[in-house]
Amino acid sequence: MNMTLTINNKKVTLDIKPDEVLLDTLRANGYLSVQRGCDTSSCGLCAIWVNDEVVLSCTYLTVRAANKNVTTLEGVQKEAKEFADFLADEGADQCGYCAPGFIMTVLAMAKELNNPSEEEIYHYLNGNLCRCTGYKGQIRAIKKYLEFKNN
Ligand code: FES
Ligand code: FES
């Protein structure tokens, strides 16, 4: 079946299956930043935005995105690079496996929360697992990034 949606500000019509999830649709159409890290909706690696809200694309049926705006890491390259520089400065980009979903979640948080506390940051990120960093460097990077954005 054909459906129309907007991906990274570009309107597209795609041939999809009724039970297809957005992760598979995006990857099949070249948005390879979107990746699968688990089978249990628990790692956050597949996080993207639908109408500016973070969703787990591994469990989001593509048909639900009809006529909505989908944003992947490919669509926010400038902001992603800006934040990634803070991650690098804090030694928080080790294997990088978690980065696509983590960065999408942090950028959404930066838009949504005004001056979040450390507890709010942890709460916002609790669906994004990282097997390497222990989160301390990531939290430092997020705080410095938010400070930078707010000044
Ligand atoms: S792939 Fe792990 S939450 Fe979607
Ligand atoms: S940096 Fe390796 S999983 Fe997060």
Does the beta carbon of 3 sit less than 6 angstroms from any atom of ligand 2?
no
Give the H or E element holding residue 11. strand 10-15
User: For residue 4, what are its two tokens?
Assistant: 């129309």
* Tens-place pLDDT, residues 73-99: 999 999 999 999 999 999 988 898 999
> Over 90: is that where the pLDDT of 100 sits?
yes
Instruction: List strand residue ranges (DSSP E) for 57-121, in order.
Output: 69-71
pTM here is 0.95
Distance in angstroms (rounded) separating the CA atoms of residues 1 and 139: 43
Interhelix angle 136-150/99-112, rounded to 10 degrees, is: 40
Half-sphere exposure of 115 (CA within 13 A, CB side): 2
Closest CA to 58 of 127, 7, 125, 134: 127
Which residue's structure tokens are 């991906």? 7
Ligand closest in space to the Cα of 37 = 1
**CB of 134 shorter than 6 A to ligand 2:** no
* Percent of the chain topping pLDDT 70: 100
Give the SS3 label for residue 58.
coil
Summarize pLDDT for 26-79 with one digit per residue, the tens: 999 999 999 999 989 999 999 999 999 999 999 999 999 999 999 999 999 999
Q: What is the pLDDT of residue 150?
A: 84
Mean predicted lDDT score pLDDT of the chain: 95
For a ligand 1 pocket test, name from 22, 55, 56 the mutation site with the most ligand atoms within 8 angstroms of its C-beta: 56
Measured CA to CA, the distance from residue 145 to residue 110 in angstroms comes to: 9
Pairing of strands 47-50, 53-56: antiparallel
Which residue puts its alpha carbon closest to atom 3 of ligand 1? Answer: 41
101: pLDDT strictly greater than 90: yes
